[in-house]
Amino acid sequence: MHVVLYEPEIPGNTGNISRLCAVTGCHLHLIRPLGFNTDDKSLKRAGLDYWHLLDIDYYDSLQECLEKYKDHSQYFLTSKATKGYTQVHYDAGSLLVFGRETSGLPDWVHEQYAGQCLRIPMLPDRKARCLNLSSSVAIVVYEAFRQQPDFGGLSLVPTEHHGTLNSQYR
């Protein structure tokens, strides 16, 4: 499974998503420019001490990433879509693309990939535009894994390793 963040702006969100990717084995793809330095303390703190478990790549454009994974199913999560995120079948190599926290995905994505744009349902007629980015990623990633045989290899058995957290993350 692949998680693509298009020009993420908030380090805490990217840190949370990084931790999600580390514990699920998702490959994380970050599209520049980033709204923060990757040495940002809040980014590191949100990801805790999971950074060594993360498979991460950086790209200078979304097109570059999409072209590299053109043989994979590609889905674009946006509040502008009308098809629900549960209305498709994800495969183990699906690319799940999420937009900026403040402005989402660019218009050309909505136009070029209209049939692959998905939405997380929300109440209508509310002042809130959308869910938090890290919450949205978690919802869709776990739906994609739920659809896989044996939950995509994720374990329901509690881990034995509960070591103490390095003080720099407290």
Could you tell me the CATH number of the domain that includes residue 27? 3.40.1280.10
The residue that leads in pLDDT, 81 or 168, is 81
Contact 21, 54 (CB under 8 A): yes
Q: What is the CB neighbour count within 10 angstroms for residue 145?
A: 19
- Could you tell me the residue range of the domain that residue 69 belongs to? 2-169
Rounded to an integer, what distance in angstroms lies between the CA atom of residue 26 and that of residue 94? 10
Closest CA to 65 of 31, 92, 94, 101: 31
Question: Residue 93 has what pLDDT?
Answer: 97
Rg (CA), the chain: 16
End-to-end CA distance of the chain: 30
Question: Residue 36 has what pLDDT?
Answer: 82
pLDDT at 169 over 70: no
Rounded to an integer, what distance in angstroms lies between the CA atom of residue 50 and that of residue 57? 16
What is the model's pTM? 0.89
What does the angle CA 111 – CA 70 – CA 32 come to, to the nearest 5 degrees? 70
Question: Residue 18 has what pLDDT?
Answer: 93
Q: How many domains does the chain have?
A: 1
pLDDT in tens, 81-129: 999 999 999 999 999 999 999 999 999 999 999 999 999 999 887 777 7
Longest dimension (CA), the chain: 48
Rounded to an integer, what distance in angstroms lies between the CA atom of residue 106 and that of residue 56? 22
Closest CA to 77 of 122, 127, 36: 122
pLDDT in tens, 19-78: 999 999 999 999 999 998 877 576 666 555 777 889 999 999 999 999 999 999 999 999
State the DSSP code for 129: -
State the DSSP code for 49: T
Question: Residue 114 has what pLDDT?
Answer: 98
Q: Which residues are within 8 A (CB) of 54 and not within 5 positions of it... i.e. 6 or more apart?
A: 18, 21, 22, 28, 47
Give the three-state DSSP class for 124.
coil
